[in-house]
A = this chain, B = another copy of it.
């Protein structure tokens, strides 16, 4: 009997952490466990009106132990002792200020309740001004450090965020020695390598978000950073020079963490990366394949050979980084700031009468009301999608842009906002919903077109993430608008599976991540083929979308 080896993929999403125990040989999923971040679930430290979203480091640590031990407890006996690797993927850019010992400032008693001392979640947009300053300075500088990050630095990214929190709080700035991305912090913690001097940084996070590039000697120069703000003086030297691809081991579990998990100290922990990059690997990304993680927002990932990328700089995407997805290829990232969040927004608008009006009714008792309200709100999206499906493509005068959360790519601009036009007195709620779905699909097409216009061939789309599994309406409209077939990955936990593939590679089960993908990949559950008629109709609809975006952006939402 073969003694199987196992690996654990840890996927830190926006709301929860998932631990996935995987057979390293076959890719079979043995068990998984999802744990919500406890403080985040209560809405602590956030202010949606200001687009401020912060997460406490204790949230991450608590769910780590809980999810791993819970997942292992569901496995057959003998699995835990044969776990050989562990890898982390997280949201990003989600950085935190750390002290000289590498400890996130919110873990120090004096900053325990200070949102600026916590991880600044990817979707936090409080650093809009700082991003604008970075863009201004970068354009004047002799090296354009934003060039490989699409030419526009975003308020969602680490330098803008860290500068913002440093400026917000003088006492914090005094205690801040360096900063760390979420995906780099956890491997450091569990392997005992979290001192700033020993922290190993991920190529993915550094290249896509921190303007790190070999070509200009790593991070932007000290001159650039102090010119941006003297507050940044000294940080560059205390940060990092080298970065690593995710097939690289960081180290092994410390005794303390191995005991907590119930694992051995031989478990190899590999370099972390952002969730979508590992998700793309888990979904079997290959050259010329456009992988979309379709959830509240989208993250779009491609890999391209050095040959294809020779001399190619793609403007307005989130970045092109050697080895950020698959080692030995250039990883390309793009994405929409809001995708499922656009539908969730409309659901909240439609939930208002249920919550407010039903709640004030004297016809029902409180318990029935509460149950009815909950049930009704849960039914909104499924029911409205059924109605929206009946509307023929292109039959509506109503159309929209998808910028309710700003625009990430192409051409980041967090100041733009959403628009719905073509409204008549006959426009219905399901028609509005369909227009919003179409708007998110048009936003996707704008990204795909940007790649194609810059010579990147795309012959296949793979979708992963909740919406790809749950919403046939959205996926069909996306296929029609892109006029490309979309394969939905069978694996529902592609990010955690991708992490497991990297863990297996770093632990030596495979000699390369490509071998791990081939052995552990799970294939596809469904293919959405474009409807030729709708694809044709949507071509002209897309032109209206672009014009609506251009005119509203130029008239109302000034550029960064």
Chain A positions within 8 Å of B, measured between CB atoms, are 48-49, 51, 338, 341-342, 344-345, 348-354, 356-358, 360-361, 363-364, 368, 371-372, 375-376, 379-380, 383-384, 387, 397-398, 404-405, 417-430, 432, 544, 547-548, 551-552, 555-556
Contacts and interface: CB of A to CB of B under 8 A. Distances in A.
A153 to B, nearest CB: 21
Contact of A345 (B351, B427, B547): B427
Contacts of A556: 421-422, 544, 547-548
A270 B342 CA distance: 58
A429 B379 contact: no
B426 A48 contact: yes
Given A353-B380, A372-B361, A556-B547, A338 B425 contact: yes
A424 B429 contact: no
A99 to B, nearest CB: 34
A354 B349 CA distance: 12
Copies in the complex: 2
25 contacts: A344-B425, A345-B427, A348-B428, A348-B429, A349-B429, A350-B353, A354-B358, A357-B380, A358-B376, A361-B375, A363-B368, A363-B371, A364-B368, A398-B417, A404-B427, A405-B424, A417-B421, A417-B422, A418-B424, A419-B419, A544-B556, A547-B555, A548-B556, A551-B551, A551-B555
- Report the 6 A-B pairs with minimum CB-CB distance, sorted nearest first: A418-B423, A352-B429, A419-B421, A357-B376, A350-B353, A551-B551
Contacts of A425: 48, 338, 341-342, 344-345, 404-405
A49 B372 contact: no
A424 B418 CA distance: 6
Nearest to A347: B353
Given A357-B379, A421-B552, 5 more contacts: A341-B425, A349-B428, A364-B368, A417-B422, A418-B422
Contacts of A356: 383-384, 387
Given A426-B49, A555-B551, A364 B360 contact: no
Query: Counting chain B CB atoms within 10 Å of each CB, which of A356, A397, A425 scores highest?
Result: A425
Contact of A372 (B363, B427, B432, B552): B363
A434 to B, nearest CB: 13
Contacts of A352: 350, 384, 428-430
A417 B398 CA distance: 9
Contact of A361 (B342, B344, B376, B404): B376
B383 A357 contact: yes
Contact of A350 (B350, B404, B418, B552): B350
A466 to B, nearest CB: 17
A552 B348 CA distance: 27
Nearest to A358: B376
Contacts of A420: 419-421, 423
A482 B421 CA distance: 25
A383 to B, nearest CB: 6
A113 to B, nearest CB: 24
Contacts of A417: 397-398, 421-424
A342 B349 CA distance: 17
A429 B355 CA distance: 11
Contacts of A354: 353-354, 357-358
A342 B352 CA distance: 18
A360 B379 contact: yes
A273 to B, nearest CB: 27
Nearest to A557: B422
A37 to B, nearest CB: 19
A360 B383 contact: yes
A417 B431 CA distance: 15
Contacts of A384: 352-353, 356
A335 to B, nearest CB: 16
